Amino acid sequence: METALLVISILLIIIVLLQSGKAEGGAQIISGTQSELFANRKDRGSELVITRITAVLGIAFFLICFVSMFI
């Protein structure tokens, strides 16, 4: 169980680092320039795959932690 948790956590760290930066709007808010912070941005192609993998790994991490708490 601990090995699976370790592997999932390492994969989760790697996949989060691969994601594109979506927080570029934060600097625009502080500087006062034109901001499209709340514009609709859809993930496409590889971004969509990385987003879904991140969600699956996050859920798996949570479930393994939750199950290991009761064992």
Tokens describing residue 19: 């994601």
* Confidence at 24, pLDDT banded by 50, 70, 90: low
d(CA 28, CA 37) in angstroms, rounded, equals 9
Residue 43 above 80 pLDDT? no
Between 21 and 58, the higher pLDDT residue: 58
Domain boundaries, the chain: 2-70
Report which DSSP code applies to 32. T
